[in-house]
């Protein structure tokens, strides 16, 4: 039986694919044969034709001036945005003051006790250790600032996300309307929409919180909808037969049944919000992100790491605790009494801490790691940059990477006539998805041309393609290794955790020290950031391959390499495609931040817009990034992903 599946699956796949693929290509070729001659005679040249661009810089400049001139007087600001901004400030301030009032001993105790009740002793100890480490690194106050910001941002994101998810979960029409919106929100690199919020709310916490909500609400909405739709039909029917009203059914059956998804949504939202807390430091969010950013201004990797570690610790603790809470949901109930005990104990510790004067973290207990880290970085750059025998230094690699891969790729893309780029995009997106995905991708690409940023966008695209290629080579290799060895996977897990949660800003300086200024360090940082997701998805996909199929291949005498190539990889195709898709989206997010280390192109324009308050440049570049992200997402989006997501 197993043999049949294994052997039948392989020939069946290409056979099923080939015919529709050929048909799609044929249709596309016909369309091209009609449209391309028209386009070429009308607008020749390789770059996007000037006649087809719309200059939005003037209206955008006027809009930005209008906002600045009217921000203090117009009713829209006085009675709406002003209040939104005040609510955010008041809420963050309240949480911050509460955290300060409880003191470090109290916060640590409460954190540990909550973790203990929710996730067990091991995580309680971990939580306490994490909080103490934040203090030891001299980051107590910034950590509390970030935590205050996070609490408010996460609550707001969860509320917004749950409302959207509720709407999408209960109404099919809302679901159809919301799905593309959520899709889009998720592929947007966060950097791109900092500028508009800053313009309305100004630099600071309100803008940061709102940007975070935009970024972190979609997973909550998506998982809420998924949970509500996935509720067991039989249970629902049973409840319905009891004569309940729609509202009762929602509250007593559907929401409780969706608890797991809801918790997973909260978990995802927390992780996204935390990564945004750092990016938001560019717009003055304060807290840990700001410390990372300030340290980088004086090229102090050690100090940046000291502020980065608390972020990683917070992320890991919050991830594990909420994750464990999700897993424990089904277990036998815990009595509310123990919760009371836990809370009482926390209150006692907090009060005792207050009386004992354990409010502000004592300076004497701080450990300075900056110096040793900086020495290590100096050593690395001194010894690895150039003149390493045989392999050459990292500086040489970067130069080769730039002149042999990045430059030809960029020049090649910019040399291609504009209509051929659209055709390639259409073909790729259609082959891998439906005509709808193809249409979205082509329209997104065309929008880039219309906005008048065709060349810089292709420059960014070339960086993304090069970095994705490197990511996939390393990621697949590591993922395969991790899937084959449990020990390797266990050893890898903390490393991946750190890579994934460490704020990208922290490794921007080491990559410059190693690879010089330019596009190469931006690509390197992107690879580091995107790698964990690719490795994880690959390893998971390979491990989920039906063991029976493997067993039968083994019994037929296949070598381990043959098993991998002929059974595991084809069967894990869906996961591998998803890994490619995630890799592309993540790489794009960092290549943009690469504008800070000489990546140029769109990333630079966004940074420029933010730094100069230039809405026209920043917003156009931001929109182009969004279009690029949409296009790349659609081109790499496995068809199977859509039904699974919405199901």
Partner 1 sequence: MRMRTTSALAGVAALTLLTGCGAADMTKQASPFANAQGARTVTLSVQSWVGAQANVAVAQYLLEHELGYRVDTVQVDEVPAWDALSQGRVDAILEDWGHPEQEQRYVRDKETIAPGGDLGVTGHIGWFVPTYFAKKHPDVTDWKNLDKYAELMRTAESGDKGQLMDGSPSYVTNDKALVKNLDLDYKVVFAGSEAAQITQIEQFAKEKKPFLTYWYTPQWLFEKVPMTEVKLPPYKEGCDADPAKVECAYPVTDLQKYLNADFAEDGGEAAEFLKRFKWTTEDQNQVSLMIAERKMRPEEAAKKWVDSHESVWKKWLP
- Residues 147-206 contacting partner 1, CB under 8 A: 148, 198, 202-206
Q: Which of 386, 540, 544, 562 binds partner 1 (CB under 8 A)?
A: 386
In the complex, minimum distance from the CB of residue 612 to partner 1, in angstroms, rounded to a whole number: 5
Q: Does residue 514 contact residue 397 with C-beta atoms inside 8 Å?
A: no
DSSP 568: I
Q: Which of residues 408-467 bind partner 1 (CB under 8 A)?
A: none
Residue whose CB is less far from partner 1, 195 or 527: 195
Q: Which of 101, 55, 64 is nearest to 354 (CA)?
A: 101
**Pattern 601-640, partner 1, x by CB under 8 A:** --xx--xx-xxxx---------------------------
Instruction: Provide the token pair at 412.
Output: 């090649």
Contact region with partner 1 (CB under 8 A), list: 291-299, 336-344, 428-436, 454-462: 291-299
Q: Which of 175, 183, 261, 290 binds partner 1 (CB under 8 A)?
A: 290
In the complex, minimum distance from the CB of residue 219 to partner 1, in angstroms, rounded to a whole number: 23
Q: Does residue 296 contact residue 271 with C-beta atoms inside 8 Å?
A: no
Residue whose CB is less far from partner 1, 265 or 603: 603
Q: Which of 160, 187, 220, 596 binds partner 1 (CB under 8 A)?
A: 596
Residue whose CB is less far from partner 1, 331 or 363: 363
**CA atoms of 385 and 292, how far apart (whole Å):** 24
Contact region with partner 1 (CB under 8 A), list: 16-24, 299-307, 331-339, 425-433: 299-307
In the complex, minimum distance from the CB of residue 420 to partner 1, in angstroms, rounded to a whole number: 24
Cα 608 to the center of its chain, rounded Å: 23
Which distant-in-sequence residues (6+ apart) come within 8 Å of 198 by Cβ?
207, 283, 610
**CA atoms of 272 and 213, how far apart (whole Å):** 9
CB count in 10 Å sphere of residue 40: 12
Q: Which of 533, 574, 508, 623 is nearest to 271 (CA)?
A: 533
Residue whose CB is less far from partner 1, 204 or 417: 204
Q: How many residues bind partner 1 (CB under 8 A)?
A: 83
Residue whose CB is less far from partner 1, 385 or 430: 385
Q: Which of 417, 598, 638, 646 binds partner 1 (CB under 8 A)?
A: 598
| Range list of H helices, 280-403 | 287-297, 301-327, 336-356, 370-384, 394-400
**CA atoms of 77 and 128, how far apart (whole Å):** 43
Which distant-in-sequence residues (6+ apart) come within 8 Å of 188 by Cβ?
215, 625, 626, 629
In the complex, minimum distance from the CB of residue 324 to partner 1, in angstroms, rounded to a whole number: 31
Q: Which of residues 76-95 bind partner 1 (CB under 8 A)?
A: 77-79, 81-90, 92-93
**CA atoms of 313 and 326, how far apart (whole Å):** 20
Longest dimension (CA), the chain: 83
Q: Which of 519, 523, 529, 582 binds partner 1 (CB under 8 A)?
A: 519
CB count in 10 Å sphere of residue 464: 25
Which distant-in-sequence residues (6+ apart) come within 8 Å of 424 by Cβ?
416
Q: Does residue 455 contact residue 47 with C-beta atoms inside 8 Å?
A: yes
Q: Which of residues 54-73 bind partner 1 (CB under 8 A)?
A: 68, 71-72
Q: Which of residues 201-240 bind partner 1 (CB under 8 A)?
A: 202-206
Q: Which of residues 539-578 bind partner 1 (CB under 8 A)?
A: none
Residue whose CB is less far from partner 1, 302 or 417: 302
Residue whose CB is less far from partner 1, 472 or 524: 524
Residue whose CB is less far from partner 1, 398 or 492: 398
Q: Which of residues 488-517 bind partner 1 (CB under 8 A)?
A: 508-509, 512-513, 516-517
Which distant-in-sequence residues (6+ apart) come within 8 Å of 554 by Cβ?
563
Tell me which residue has tokens 């945005």.
81
Q: Which of residues 104-123 bind partner 1 (CB under 8 A)?
A: none
Q: Which of 131, 215, 385, 418 binds partner 1 (CB under 8 A)?
A: 385
Q: Which of residues 388-407 bind partner 1 (CB under 8 A)?
A: 395, 398-400, 402-403, 407
**CA atoms of 632 and 444, how far apart (whole Å):** 10
Q: Which of 244, 294, 540, 562 binds partner 1 (CB under 8 A)?
A: 294
Residue whose CB is less far from partner 1, 16 or 159: 159
Helix pair 370-384, 508-515: axis angle to 10 deg? 30
**Pattern 349-378, partner 1, x by CB under 8 A:** ---------------------xx--x----
Q: Does residue 192 contact residue 589 with C-beta atoms inside 8 Å?
A: no
Q: Per rule CB under 8 A, is residue 599 in the interface with partner 1? A: yes
Q: Per rule CB under 8 A, is residue 527 in the interface with partner 1? A: no
Backbone φ and ψ for 146, nearest 5 degrees, come out as -65, -40
Residue whose CB is less far from partner 1, 203 or 443: 203
Tell me which residue has tokens 């130069």.
399
Residue whose CB is less far from partner 1, 206 or 310: 206
Q: Which of 604, 593, 601, 602 is nearest to 623 (CA)?
A: 602
Residue whose CB is less far from partner 1, 402 or 563: 402
């Amino acid at each position: 039986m197993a043999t049949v599946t294994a052997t039948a699956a392989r020939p069946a796949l290409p056979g099923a694919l080939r015919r529709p693929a050929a048909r799609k290509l044929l249709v596309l070729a016909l369309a091209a044969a009609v449209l391309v001659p028209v386009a070429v005679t009308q607008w020749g040249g390789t770059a996007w034709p000037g006649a087809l661009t719309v200059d939005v810089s003037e209206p955008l400049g006027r809009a930005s001036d209008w906002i600045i001139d009217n921000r203090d007087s117009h009713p829209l600001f006085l009675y709406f945005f002003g209040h939104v901004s005040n609510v955010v400030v008041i809420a963050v301030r309240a949480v911050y003051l509460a955290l300060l009032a409880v003191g470090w001993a109290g916060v640590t105790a409460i954190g540990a006790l909550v973790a203990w009740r929710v996730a067990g002793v091991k995580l309680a100890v971990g939580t306490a250790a994490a909080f103490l480490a934040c203090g030891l690194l001299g980051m107590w106050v910034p950590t509390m600032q970030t935590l205050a910001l996070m609490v408010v941002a996460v609550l707001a994101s969860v509320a917004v996300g749950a409302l959207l998810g509720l709407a999408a979960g209960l109404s099919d029409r809302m679901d159809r309307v919301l799905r593309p919106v959520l899709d889009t929100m998720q592929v947007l690199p966060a950097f791109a929409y900092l500028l508009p919020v800053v313009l309305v709310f100004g630099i600071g916490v309100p803008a940061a919180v709102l940007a975070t909500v935009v970024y972190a609400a979609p997973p909550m909405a998506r998982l809420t909808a998924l949970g509500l739709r996935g509720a067991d039909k039989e249970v629902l029917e049973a409840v319905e037969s009891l004569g309940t009203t729609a509202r009762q059914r929602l509250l007593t059956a559907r929401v409780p049944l969706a608890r797991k998804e809801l918790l997973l949504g909260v978990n995802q939202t927390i992780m996204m919000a935390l990564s945004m807390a750092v990016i938001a430091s560019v717009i003055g969010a304060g807290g840990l992100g700001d410390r990372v950013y300030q340290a980088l201004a004086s090229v102090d990797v050690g100090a940046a790491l000291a502020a980065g570690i608390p972020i990683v610790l917070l992320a890991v603790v919050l991830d594990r605790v909420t994750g464990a809470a999700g897993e424990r949901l089904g277990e036998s109930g815990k009595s509310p009494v123990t919760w009371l005990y836990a809370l009482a104990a926390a209150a006692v510790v907090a009060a005792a801490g207050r009386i004992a004067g354990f409010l502000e973290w004592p300076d004497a207990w701080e450990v300075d790691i900056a110096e040793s880290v900086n020495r290590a970085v100096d050593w690395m750059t001194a010894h690895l940059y150039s003149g390493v025998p045989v392999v050459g230094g990292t500086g040489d690699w970067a130069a080769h990477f730039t002149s042999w891969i990045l430059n030809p790729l960029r020049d090649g893309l910019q040399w291609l006539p504009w209509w051929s780029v659209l055709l390639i995009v259409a073909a790729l997106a259609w082959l891998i998805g439906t005509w709808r995905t193809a249409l979205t991708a082509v329209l997104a690409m065309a929008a880039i041309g219309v906005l008048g940023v065709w060349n810089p966008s292709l420059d960014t695209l070339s960086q993304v393609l090069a970095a994705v290629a490197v990511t996939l080579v390393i990621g697949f290799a590591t993922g395969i290794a991790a899937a084959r060895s449990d020990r390797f996977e266990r050893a890898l897990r903390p490393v991946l955790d750190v890579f994934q949660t460490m704020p990208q800003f922290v490794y921007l300086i080491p990559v410059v020290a190693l690879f010089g200024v330019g596009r190469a360090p931006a690509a390197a940082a992107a690879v580091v950031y995107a790698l964990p997701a690719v490795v994880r998805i690959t390893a998971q996909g390979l491990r989920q391959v039906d063991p029976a199929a493997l067993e039968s291949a083994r019994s037929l005498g296949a070598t381990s390499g043959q098993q991998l190539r002929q059974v595991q990889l084809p069967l894990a195709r869906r996961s591998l495609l998803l890994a490619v898709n995630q890799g592309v989206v993540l790489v794009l997010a960092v290549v943009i931040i690469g504008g800070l280390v000489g990546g140029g192109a769109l990333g630079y324009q966004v940074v420029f817009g933010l730094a100069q308050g230039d809405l026209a440049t920043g917003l156009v570049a931001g929109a182009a990034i969004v279009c690029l992200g949409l296009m790349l997402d659609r081109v790499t989006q496995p068809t199977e992903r859509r039904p699974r997501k919405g199901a």
